[in-house]
Amino acid sequence: MQERSKGALVRARFTKLQDIDTPTAFFFSLEKSVVKRKQMLCLRLPEGKVTTEPAEMRKHAVDFYTDLFKADECDVDSAEELLQGLPQLSSEEQNTLSSELTFDELTAAVSQMASGKAPGIDGLSSDFFKHFWSLMGQDICYVFKECFEEGMLPASSRRAVLSLLPKKGDLTSLKKQETSGSFIPPVVVSAYADDINIIIQGHTDVQELKESLALYEKASSARVNWGKSEAV
């Protein structure tokens, strides 16, 4: 019961313990109302059928966003023209970006994280890391350095959690043109660089991604470490 109450506290968005008394039916109903507002109960499939089956809804959502975010054909000549005259990184700036991560840099980054946010799927908030940074900071810094050296994030950082958040319009549709407004349900993804694995499904997608990174490298003069780019 105690563990259930703690979980309900988080999901009900209470920020102060003095906001509540002991867990009651009213308290748990608040949690359910928050969950209900974030649920999509049904979706219209491309053929017009409205489904409430979770497996069909998940497949439709993945197919929709895969198509939405897939790479379009790029006109190389137009890209070359677009990139001309853009500011370039100096050699000193390139070396700075390629230098080894320091503990002070990581500490500064953690201290600037927004409070009350959980960056990973483990649910540990930024406040947790800030509070215990003096105990775990050096260990986390070591993990990040190893990630840079190996070119691979930990398994927990390579897993994604997708959630469709309903807002307004036709909630059975994911397509912009089928809603009453200009709304497309956003995707919440709790992962890092390997988010691209959600939409990269074949050799053609990988090749287009590599071409995009090559354009980025040329435009910014930043260095893409191909040897440590696990996804490509």
Tell whether 32 is covered by a domain: no
Predicted confidence (pLDDT) per residue in 111-170, tens digit: 998 888 777 777 788 899 999 999 999 999 999 899 888 878 777 777 766 666 666 677
**Which residues contact residue 185 at a Cβ distance below 8 angstroms, ignoring those fewer than 6 apart?**
40, 164, 165, 166, 167, 174
167 and 65 in a single domain? The answer is: yes
Dist CA 196 CA 210 (whole Å): 12
201 domain residue, yes or no: yes
Q: Is 78 a member of any domain?
A: yes
222/214 Cα distance (integer angstroms): 10
In contact, 50 and 42? CB cutoff 8 Å: yes
Residue 135: inside a domain: no
Tell me the whole-structure pTM to 2 decimals.
Answer: 0.49
Q: How many structural domains comprise the chain?
A: 2
One-letter amino acid of 15: T
Structural domain span for residue 50: 42-70+163-185
Q: For residues 221-226, give the mean pLDDT.
A: 66
Q: What are phi and psi of 163, to 5 degrees?
A: -140, 125
Predicted confidence (pLDDT) at residue 52 exceeds the cutoff of 60: yes
Is residue 55 one of the residues assigned to a domain? yes
Residue 206 falls within a domain, yes or no? yes
Identify the band that residue 96 occupies on the pLDDT scale cut at 50, 70 and 90: confident
Is residue 59 situated within a structural domain?
Answer: yes
In this structure, the number of other CB atoms found within 10 A of the CB of residue 188 comes to 12
Q: Is 211 exposed, middle or buried (0-12, 13-18, 19+ CB in 10 A)?
A: middle
Residue 125 lies in a domain: no
- The one-letter amino acid code at 202 reads G
